[in-house]
Amino acid sequence: MSDRIVLGQIAGSFGVRGDLRLKSFCAIPEDIAIYTPLYTDDGRVFRVVVITGQTNGALVARIEGISSKEEADALRGQNLSADRDRLPNLPDDEFYHSDLIDLEVLDTGGAILGRVKTVLNHGAGDILEVQLTGKPATALLPFTLAIVPTVDLKAGRIIADPPEGLFE
């Protein structure tokens, strides 16, 4: 498990005064502002984030040190991460996406299926993209209790009961 968790991503500028469009991955989107400082992939640190509104699929935010459209646009695509110890502890049946990435995926018989490459969510629930063992292909595994009954972070593995033919 990493020491930082990705909580959102900068989607670009909003207006000409340095406001940003911000995609929040928090259960309550506005909560991203309370987990400061936020860190970008390129090493910048933002200690003050103020949510000022909403726009199509994103929050509008002011971030310390960003005062022009050009500065805001230069940050487009940057992930925003927070220190794990600033975040709430999750119940046993909930996980941060970053904790699932790179876990080994086994079927209920113990056969290795692959490793979690990424976690996707297009609005209907989480989906694990699994890099198949020894193959260039990936498979999309719905992240539901019926299909993924066990996630063991300490052992670094997921036990899956995938639909017939998914991993062939």
- 166 pLDDT tier (thresholds 50, 70, 90): confident
Q: Which domains does the chain have, with CATH numbers?
A: 4-86 (2.40.30.60), 97-160 (2.30.30.240)
CA gap 65, 47 in Å, rounded? 10
pLDDT in tens, 108-130: 999 999 999 999 887 778 999 99
pLDDT for residue 59: 96
Q: What is the pLDDT of residue 96?
A: 87
Secondary structure (DSSP) of 53-92: EEETTEEEEEETT--SHHHHHHTTT-EEEEEGGGSPPPPT
Tens of pLDDT, residue by residue over 149-161, are 999 999 999 999 9
- pLDDT given for residue 2 in this prediction: 64
Decide: helix, strand or coil at residue 17: coil
- Give the residue among 80, 87, 84, 89 at the shortest CA–CA distance from 2: 84
Q: Indicate the SS3 state at residue 95.
A: coil
The answer to whether 88 touches 28, Cβ cutoff 8 Å, is: no
**Position 22: which residue type?**
L
Which ranges of 16-164 would DSSP assign to H, the alpha helix?
A: 69-74, 97-100
